[in-house]
Amino acid sequence: MRASWLIEDESGAREGEAIGRERLVAEGVFHASIRPEGWEAPIEEIMRMRGYRTRDEVNLSPTTEGLDVILGKFDREHLHTDDEVRYVLEGEGVFDIRARDDRWMRVVVGPGDLIVVPKARHHRFMLTASRTIRAIRLFEDRAGWVPHYRQ
């Protein structure tokens, strides 16, 4: 996991100053490192502790049919009424999450990273250049995991 303040200007977006774990926690973003070998028991413990009731697996790669359509739903700024919880088994993902002061925090996750984007917090999601991720998604209630786009 790598977290930094995002700098956006005429030349595009780039990672700036690093964000420490304490700041992420203060911003309500939960992160844990769990080894991909034997991940199921610790993930189930986190589900019990945090009240997530179901899980599934998402698998995206350059050969995924409709990949750009799928990604296009989530690379626009949005929020959910439930937490967005991802545990990465393979590949990488990029979460841009609004800090409480509305600045972007960029969090890049890879194998072994569990991240919780808190409910009602604007964010967007992208893949890295490899365009590959296999991740476990945890849900309180799937109905809460609908994107509400920022106006």
Amino acid 117 reads: V
Amino acid 81 reads: T
Q: With CB under 5 A, what is the number of residues at the site for Fe ion?
A: 1
**CB nearer Fe ion, residue 48 or residue 150:** 150
Closest approach of Cβ 124 to Fe ion, in Å?
7
* Helix (H) / strand (E) containing 39: none
Closest approach of Cβ 138 to Fe ion, in Å?
13
Q: Which of 21, 31, 44, 51 is nearest to 95 (CA)?
A: 31
Closest approach of Cβ 24 to Fe ion, in Å?
17
As a dihedral over the C-alpha atoms of residue 114, residue 117, residue 119, residue 124, rounded to 10 degrees, the angle is -140
Counting contacts by CB under 5 A, is residue 83 touching Fe ion? no
**CB nearer Fe ion, residue 27 or residue 84:** 84
The span from the CA of 135 to the CA of 57, in Å, is 6
Among the candidate windows 82-90, 91-99, 100-108, 136-144, which touches Fe ion by CB under 5 A?
82-90
Closest approach of Cβ 117 to Fe ion, in Å?
7
Q: Residue 95 forms beta bridges with which residues? A: 107, 125
Counting contacts by CB under 5 A, is residue 84 touching Fe ion? yes
Contacts with Fe ion by CB under 5 A lie at: 84
